């Protein structure tokens, strides 16, 4: 009985059933698209929450000023604006410092993180805390888009090459047996102090 008659697939058909690289990539695309959509939804939710927080704070400020005179209202508004500006500057300093820390070891110049990333996309809590996962994710994404910013890894050979060369250069010239015969006792003592008799003495 042949393979076709007992229901077995020929070898050519079995090979055709194996997914190609293009097909595997096509299958991976929906997952990547779903992840991108989740990121977009998260960013949208964060933006909406920030807007809502601003609106609530504005309503509270307006309620607090309702029963005050025009002069008092102007003073309170000026104070509120000053506090908001100071808070913004403080949050920016915190973000820059945390971004620099998160980029250390990943970017050649960690301060580049604050130059290439939009700081307004990151939140700082009332306690001065930032989302470390969000910062790390943003830096990884930056390296994907601009790989030339990545820190160059130093190999062990590169790190130790100069040290090895210096070690050879600073090794004291050794005294030979013939030279030792013509040396005075004082010269021999000096040579020993300079570690120039190691070879003759069998010292390593």
pLDDT tens-place string over residues 153-196:
765 555 454 555 444 445 678 888 777 777 777 778 877 887 88
Of 134, 133, 137, 111, the C-alpha closest to 122 is 134
Average of per-residue pLDDT values in the chain: 75
Rounded Cα–Cα distance for residues 180 and 111 (Å): 61
Tokens matching residue 79: 């104070």
pLDDT(14) > 50: no
Of 152, 156, 158, the C-alpha closest to 106 is 152
Domain ranges within the chain, ordered by starting residue: 21-149, 169-204
Confidence band of 104 (pLDDT split at 50, 70, 90): very high
Confidence band of 46 (pLDDT split at 50, 70, 90): low
Distance between first and last Cα of the chain: 81
Least confident among 73-77, 120-124, 146-150:
73-77
Contact 147, 170 (CB under 8 A): no
């Amino acid at each position: 009985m042949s393979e076709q008659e007992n229901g077995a697939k020929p070898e050519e058909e079995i090979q055709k059933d194996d997914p190609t690289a293009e097909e595997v990539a096509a299958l991976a695309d929906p997952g990547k698209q779903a992840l991108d959509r989740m990121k977009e939804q998260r960013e949208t939710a964060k933006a909406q929450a920030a807007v809502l927080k601003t609106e609530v704070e504005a309503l509270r400020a307006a309620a607090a000023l309702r029963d005050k005179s025009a002069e008092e209202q102007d003073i309170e508004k000026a104070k509120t604006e000053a506090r908001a500006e100071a808070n913004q500057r403080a949050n920016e300093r915190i973000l820059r410092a945390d971004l620099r820390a998160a980029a250390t070891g990943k970017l050649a110049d960690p301060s580049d993180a604050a130059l290439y990333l939009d700081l307004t996309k990151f939140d700082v809590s009332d306690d001065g805390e930032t989302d470390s996962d969000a910062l790390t994710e943003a830096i990884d994404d930056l390296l994907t888009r601009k790989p030339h910013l990545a820190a160059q890894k130093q190999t062990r050979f590169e790190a130790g090459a100069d040290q090895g060369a210096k070690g050879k250069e600073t090794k004291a010239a050794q005294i030979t047996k013939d030279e030792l015969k013509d040396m005075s006792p004082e010269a021999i003592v000096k040579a020993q102090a300079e570690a120039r008799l190691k070879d003759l003495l069998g010292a390593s």
